[in-house]
Amino acid sequence: MTEIDLDKSEVRELNSMLHSLDDKSSESSFRVISPKGKHNIAVGVDAKADITIEGHAGHYVGGMNKHANITVTGNAGSGLAENIMSGVVRVKGNSSQYTGATGRGGLIVVEGDAAARCGISMKGVDIVVGGSVGHMCAFLGQSGNMVICGDAGDALGDSIFELQIFVQGKIKSLGHDCEEKDMGPEQMAKLTELLDKAQIKADPQKFKLYGPARTLYNFKIDNAYLP
Amino acid sequence: MNKPSVNEETGPVEDSALQESYIWSKQTIQEIQRAATEGIYSIRGGGAKRKVPHFDDLLFLGASMSRYPLEGYREKCDTNVTLGTRFAKKPLHLDIPITIAGMSFGALSAQAKDALGKGAAAMGTTTTTGDGGMTQEERASSKTLVYQMLPSRYGMNPDDLRKADAIEVVCGQGAKPGGGGMLLGQKISDRVAEMRTLPKGIDQRSACRHPDWTGPDDLEIKINEIREITDWEKPIYIKVGATRTRYDVQLACKAGADVIVVDGMQGGTAATQDVFIEQVGIPTLPAVRIAVDALKEMGMHRKVQLIVSGGIRNGSDVAKCMALGADAVAIGMAALYALGDNSQKYAEEYHKMGSAPGYYDAYHLGRCPAGITTQDPELAKRFDPELGGRRIKNLLQTMILEAQTLARACGKSHLHNLEPEDLVALTVEAAAMAKVPLAGTDWYPGKDSSY
Ligand SMILES: Cc1cc2nc3c(=O)[nH]c(=O)nc-3n(C[C@H](O)[C@H](O)[C@H](O)COP(=O)(O)O)c2cc1C
């Protein structure tokens, strides 16, 4: 276990060290202390490493992650694990706006709440939120799965493509072209698997599934937002 | 005046004697009738068709007695430029200041992208990806490749970021400032769909705002993230459509750009609403001057490099742009035409589609007979990337020879030594926009006045 104290080292030094990791590196376990809300911690990692950030992280923590298993013990700022490719990024507290934006693979777990626009433009990532999410979540989401154990704000799933959204709590409103879908055994199995992987306790039977009505897929005048 | 009416003394009225209304021109009437039939705006590709003040409205003052010209063929006139000197560990050293603008794979065939890379590489300049990610073909053929990060983030990934030579954060485009990308279903082939993670054949309308930052303060952090991911090696560009250019350029500087790309309103696009192309943004001519002044105001001119695009057609446009203070230019439409778009060769096919060589702009429909703005494998096969690459090289070479001719005539041993004092304006509008004197006077509107 290597310990990096961000009171003593710069984020640049930390990232530079993490970028030098490869399959042959002897050390694969890192503990980052005193993050104090600094931005861009552990971005662009491309290695099977375990990285624990003890405290609060700023914007884009775990951005574009590949393979690594990153945990933030406190809260995280905007753009947590944006464009994640693979691996797992977990936040034990809450996360701010655009969590997992454009993420293409891997798993993001927010044990607390995620703010607005969680999963915006997501392209294949799985996102599990233990608490509630803000407005416009999964906006323009293209692919992947989103699990919301609490409530969702306004315009959930607006303009989504092939994305599945599982919600246990109340939804303030659904966005344009997002509708409730029947949950079949396949979807139930996926939900169960995601809750398991995320180690979040919830009863899959209590969730409802939402997806695209697919009325926006083709450019028809009826799709325009007319007054 | 009705055509069939016959004046007893002069006989039937000639067509040419009919007076077309300026307000209700034939095109206007046709557009109203199209709208009345279809109930939706018209979508097309290309740039603005209306006349806007442009570089043609400026002239160079060649040297004679008061200034010394350089020998046309023998004396040196350098053309190189370095981009990204502010923060990047590896700035780009280009042989010529003419770059190929971002045009997406999706909008263009993979073959056309390949040709752009080949031509640019042969002339020691950059090509740019676009709203669809990086293709292997263009990475392989481009010696230096700029990788765009757009609001849609289609295909975005850290490996391609690292493979790129520079990264361009696109905040806007001259043809549609404030609008997102558009690619209609005809062009969403299997490969395009896969690269963009979209269902095949849907009409794709991408976001106009970035998904993970909102204002310039956030963008600064976002740019630092990209720098961290790529270990501070690559120059980071910010591209904006020309609108509130002074503020946009200064905010881009503040957000930490190494290079700023300003794209004038007449810049080309693969597809958007006609009303966007024609009615939004300011022309390239005033945009250059405003951008340069904005950089100077911050003490950043030449420290943050400025690339200008939108209607750059030839070496004189390049030289004029640089005389106004740009470090380099980018070309889109000129490159497509060089590849053979709108060529006479396909006149018959253009006619069949209700268009003609010189007029074709239905890039969004993907039926390009020249195999350039299409994803149809049969059409794309018509296009030869080797030949296309040579044609791009020839165009760039011609443009640079022209620019050098003008620079030498003004006594300049480097294109960058061209200055506003080498220019005069032909019209009061151009004088006002470029802030160079109206020819024959020492005046331009607004000179010596404060506003
Ligand atoms: C076919 C086509 C596709 C384009 N695709 C993109 C794109 O993906 N991203 C982008 O920033 N600009 C795109 N543009 C705009 C160009 O990058 C550039 O701003 C413009 O073409 C410059 O003006 P010009 O065409 O008059 O040279 C595209 C332009 C064309 C003609």
Select the residue of A19, A58, A104 nearest B231 (Cβ to Cβ).
A19
pLDDT of residue B1: 45
Q: Assess if residue B439 is contained within a domain.
A: no
Within this chain, do residues B33 and B61 fall inside the same structural domain, yes or no? no
Asked if the structure places residue B451 within a domain, the reply is: no
Whether the CB of B273 sits within 6 Å of ligand 1: no
- The shortest C-alpha distance from B31 to chain A (Å) reads 17
Per-residue pLDDT at B129:
97
**Cβ contact, residue pair B211, A121, below 8 Å:** yes
CA of B309 to the centre of ligand 1 (A): 9
> CA nearest B206: which of B188, B227, B231?
B188
In a mutational test of the A interface, the residue from B229, B272, B365 whose CB has the highest number of chain A CBs within 10 Å is: B229
Contact B184 A64 (CB under 8 A): no
pLDDT of res. B5: 58
CA–CA separation, A97 and A82 (whole Å): 11
Q: Looking at the structure, do residues B167 and B23 belong to the same domain, yes or no?
A: no
Pairing state of beta strands A208-212 and A162-167? antiparallel
B240 with B185, same domain? Answer: yes
Contact status, residue B92 vs residue B83, Cβ threshold 8 Å? yes
Considering the domain architecture, whether residues B35 and B125 belong to the same structural domain is answered as: no
> How far is A140 from B152, CA to CA, in rounded Å?
9
Note whether residue B362 is domain-resident. yes
- Mean pLDDT computed over B345-366: 96
ipTM: 0.96
Interface probe with B: pick from A40, A97, A226, most Cβ of B within 10 Å: A40
B27 and B146 belong to one structural domain: no
Domain of residue B34: give its range: 6-40
Same domain, B15 and B139: no
B19 & B78 share domain? no
Region B92-104: what's the mean pLDDT? 98
Place of tokens 């002069």: B10
Tell me the DSSP string of B294-349: HHHHTT-BTTBEEEEESS--SHHHHHHHHHTT-SEEEESHHHHHHHTTT-GGGHHH
pTM score, two decimals?
Answer: 0.96
Helix, coil or strand: residue A224: coil
Same domain assignment for residues B328 and B185: yes
Give the integer Cα–Cα distance in Å for B62 and B450.
Answer: 31
Residues B150 and B36 in one domain: no
Both B169 and B290 in a single domain?
yes
- Cα distances (Å, whole numbers) of residue A54 to A21, A33, A35: 21, 5, 7
Instruction: Copy the structure tokens of residue A114.
Output: 């995620």
Strand order, beta sheet including A2-5: A2-5, A29-33, A50-54, A69-72, A88-91, A107-110, A123-129, A143-148, A162-167, A208-212, A178-181
Please report whether residue B47 resides in a domain.
Answer: no
Q: What's the pLDDT tens digit per position in A107-138? A: 999 999 999 999 999 999 999 999 999 999 99
Task: Answer yes or no: do A39 and B231 touch at CB < 8 A.
Answer: no
In angstroms, rounded to a whole number, what is the distance separating the alpha carbons of residues A73 and A92?
Answer: 5
Contact A30, A18 (CB under 8 A): yes
Q: Is residue B1 part of a domain?
A: no
Q: Residue B435: is its pLDDT beyond 50?
A: yes
Q: State which ligand 1 atom lies nearest to the alpha carbon of B334.
A: 27
Task: Note whether A102 and A163 are within 8 A (CB).
Answer: no
B351, B352, B355, B361 alpha-carbon torsion, rounded to 10°? -130
| CATH number, domain containing residue B292 | 3.20.20.70
> Looking at chain A from residue 151 to 180, which residues have their Cβ under 8 Å from any Cβ of chain B?
161-162
For residue B413, the model assigns a pLDDT of: 97
Q: What is the pLDDT of residues B276-299, one digit of tens each?
A: 999 999 999 999 999 999 999 999
Q: How far apart are CA A72 and CA A146, in angstroms?
A: 20
CA of B179 to the centre of ligand 1 (A): 13
Residue B103 pLDDT level (bands cut at 50, 70, 90)? very high
Q: How many domains does chain B have?
A: 2
Q: Provide the pLDDT confidence category of residue B4 given band limits of 50, 70 and 90.
A: low
Look at residue A139 and tell me whether its pLDDT is greater than 60: yes
Q: Is B128 part of a structural domain of the chain?
A: yes
Q: Using CA atoms, how far apart are residues B248 and B346, in angstroms rounded to an integer? A: 41
Among protein residues, the one with the nearest Cα to ligand 1's atom 3 is B103
**Percent share of chain A, pLDDT over 70:** 97
In a domain, B130, yes or no: yes
Assess whether B79 and B12 both reside in one domain.
no
B322 located within any domain: yes
Residues B31, B159 within the same domain: no
The pLDDT of residue B184 is 85
Residue A147 has pLDDT above 60, yes or no: yes
Q: What integer is the mean pLDDT of A154-164?
A: 97
Alpha-carbon distance of B2 to A227, in angstroms, equals: 40
